[in-house]
Every structure is written in C-alpha cells, then in structure tokens.
Structure 1
C-alpha cells in the first residue's frame, strides 16, 4: 500500500502541518473536522493541501516527516512545497 508524506497549510493561523498517511484526502478531512481533540491542527479548520509526496512505504514517509519536523523551519517547508524533488534528495542521503 502506498503511503504519503503530506504538508497542509492554514491561512487562518499561518502555519504548516507535516504528516504521513495512506489516504491524504481522508486525513485532511479529519484535520478540518477536529475528530482528534488533542491534535495540533484543531486550532484551525481551513487546512489545505500544499504537498502530497508518494513514498515506497510507511517507514519512508515517517522518515521524511521526522526529518522535516526536526528542521523546525517554515522556510524549509516552503522550499519543499516549491520544489518537492528535494524530498528525493533527502531520501537518497539516508
């Protein structure tokens, strides 16, 4: 089963969120409907997909998610959104 790294953005709070899933559309719906009460994304309900990157498996998606979150950089996330090929470079260096 394919897994995806995804990046969503809320204009309301001007924040990105990075996650992984096997169903991107369903996951965004969950974020926007606040089904997970303790979730970081409950602060907004206008999350839109900025990037969906197909990974070989869940481990690859989790690796990218952790890598991006460790960077703690909005500018880095914006760079990835504008140039998703960078994700392949990150994977090739692991």
Structure 2
C-alpha cells in the first residue's frame, strides 16, 4: 500500500506533496531526520491530506497530478481555504 500525502508548513505557508509506503517514517524524516533537501528549510511540517493507493504507479500518477497547477489550486482552495 502506498500513501500520497500533502504537508503544509504553517510558518512559511509552503506545501509539499509526496508518496511513500511508510507515512510515519517519512514525516519523521521531513521534520527531524533529514539533513539536506528542500523540506528542511521549512520545518515544521504537518500532514493536511492523505490518499491510499494499491500500487506505486497509481500513487506516482496522483502525486504528479497534485503537483500541477490544478492540483495546487485544489489544495489551496479546498484544504487550506485560501
């Protein structure tokens, strides 16, 4: 099982979209363990949305859709209300 997740940084008003097979470990990496990468600059992150998929391919497809303009617009308008 794979999870597509959306993180939000309240402090910086940033969104991160990804997928994983272990959501709790991935969130821990984003918030504490990682020492390099884009997400370390905007900590702390909170999960604002998740979706489950049976295959990695389906999760990747949804992740790419959410990373596009319409997906980000949906996130801002629906999940963040602004």
TM-score of the alignment, normalized to the shorter chain, above 0.5: yes
Which residue is equivalent to 2:65? 67
Q: Which runs of 5+ in 2 are unaligned?
A: none
Higher relative contact order (CA 8 A, sep 6+): 2
1:5–1:65 contact (8 Å) kept in structure 2: yes
Unaligned runs of 5+ in 1: 83-94
TM-score (norm: length of structure 1): 0.73
CA RMSD of aligned residues (A): 2.0
CA contact (8 A) 2:66 2:72 kept: no
The change in CA–CA distance for 1:61 and 1:73 in structure 2 (over 3 A counts) is closer
Q: With structure 2 as the length reference, what TM-score do the two structures score?
A: 0.83
